Amino acid sequence: MTASPDICVIVPTIREYECMRAYFENAREHGFDLDRLHVVLVTEDFCETDAMRAMLDEEGVSGEVFDGARREAWYEAKGIAEYDHVVPAASHAETSFGLLYLWANDFEYGFFIDDDTLPHDDADFFGRHLRNLAYEGEIETVSSDENWVNVLYQNHDDHGLYPRGYPYSAMDETVATDATEISDVVASQGLWTNVPDLDAVRILMDGDLQGQARTRTTADDYDGDFVAARGNYLTVCSMNLAFRREVVPAFYQLPMDDNRWEVGRFDDIWSGVFLKRACDVLGKRIYNGGPLCEHNKAARSTFDDLTNEVPGLELNEHLWAVVDDVGADRDTYAGVFEAMATALATGDFEAYNNGAFFNYVGEYMLDWLATLDELEPLQTPRVPADD
């Protein structure tokens, strides 16, 4: 038996928290020790927090429920109330609160699980992710002439899909694969069946007005695990993801939705760009493939998602190029992240629609490092961004 939980499971949820029962049952079926888990449900003041706590108690799983009021109290108790702005209100990017909680409590691993997913019965969900993080050996490595890897490349000739966040300018790429030896895996991205994770523009071309893609994915669309080659970026979706504690300084889920430009929907995508750059500099790897989850996206207005995405669509085409040659002389996650943050905070992006949002993001990234340093000192003391 594990003496205390070493895995923090972070679940942003409003109403579908009961999905976690399926993950707990999957753990029992595959002999995974539930005592290793501490579940953090990140929710809102208007939600059923008592029922969420009751669900965890009934399942016998350690955990806490943090609505807005409890988050504010936690910031006060930890002495970081001045940095409460780094976690945006009423946004999927509230997953960053879970990262702060993980950092303050010394968990070795983190998991992100979205509440519209379910595990596949035939896969040991938690165990497989941890084996991925421990993996050393040969694996397929993927690259393209656009320096971007489509995580749905394996059956692309049949379905033609590109995931949310994949730059439009990098489409129609030429894909190359090879075998390589890897170690030092720091993140494990599980992919998804049923409803693919597409942006609203692509859903309008292959779907309906309720956010549902017509083309669906199955396990047959995935043909083995892989990594993106050095110097190649990929979309990192936080619906099914495990990671090591060490990446937290470079894995801030960006301040979306709650900003004057109304940019949304790129929190996990841009955090993945930053993490991949840090991994390339530091010689680390992001593992992709299994365990798959079933994505059961609830119906919602495609045009609402489009409204949230459009202010950042042009920026998404350029973000990776801004950070692609930054931080090469740094030797820590915090150091690489600081270099990227500074490039964004001080850059001139007037040529882009909503270019000043990059400056805003860079300032918040610097505040993220300052917040972590207050909770537990980083290797290099951080200085908060100027107001």
- Which residues in the chain come in under a pLDDT of 70? 1-3, 379-387
Task: Please tell me the predicted confidence (pLDDT) of residue 387.
Answer: 45
CA 114, distance to chain mean position in Å, is 10
Task: Please tell me the predicted confidence (pLDDT) of residue 15.
Answer: 87
Q: Are 272 and 234 in contact (CB under 8 A)?
A: yes
Integer CA distances (angstroms), 114 to 9, 18, 237, 272, in order: 10, 11, 10, 16
Task: Please tell me the predicted confidence (pLDDT) of residue 82.
Answer: 98
Instruction: Give the chain's length.
Output: 387
State both tokens at 172: 């129609």
Task: Please tell me the predicted confidence (pLDDT) of residue 174.
Answer: 98
Task: Please tell me the predicted confidence (pLDDT) of residue 381.
Answer: 42
Task: Please tell me the predicted confidence (pLDDT) of residue 254.
Answer: 96
Residues of the chain by 3-state class (helix, strand, coil), percent to 5: 40, 20, 40
User: Which residue in 216, 237, 229 sits closest to 155, CA to CA?
Assistant: 216
Q: Where are the alpha helices (DSSP H) in the chain?
A: 19-29, 49-59, 68-78, 95-105, 125-133, 156-159, 200-205, 267-282, 302-323, 333-346, 356-375
Task: Give the 3-state secondary structure of residue 186.
Answer: strand
Q: Where are the alpha helices (DSSP H) in 112-256?
A: 125-133, 156-159, 200-205
The Cα 39–Cα 8 span in angstroms is: 6
Peptide bond into 291 cis (omega under 30): yes
Residue 30, judged by CB atoms within 10 A of its CB (0-12, 13-18, 19+), counts as middle
State both tokens at 74: 């936690």
List strand residue ranges (DSSP E) for 89-204, in order. 109-113, 117-119, 137-144, 148-149, 175-182, 185-194
The Cα 366–Cα 18 span in angstroms is: 36
Domain ranges of the chain: 7-375
**39 half-sphere exposure, CB direction, 13 A CA radius:** 30
Q: Are 191 and 219 in contact (CB under 8 A)?
A: no
- The dihedral region occupied by 376, where left means phi > 0, alpha psi between -120 and 50, and beta the remainder, is beta
Task: Please tell me the predicted confidence (pLDDT) of residue 383.
Answer: 46
Task: Please tell me the predicted confidence (pLDDT) of residue 3.
Answer: 66
Angle formed by the axes of helices 19-29 and 125-133, nearest 10°: 70
Q: Are 236 and 286 in contact (CB under 8 A)?
A: yes
Buried b (16+ CB within 10 A) or exposed e, 241-251: bbbbbebbbbb
Task: Please tell me the predicted confidence (pLDDT) of residue 382.
Answer: 47
**Which phi and psi angles does 90 have, rounded to 5°?**
50, 50
The Cα 305–Cα 297 span in angstroms is: 13
State both tokens at 231: 């110097």
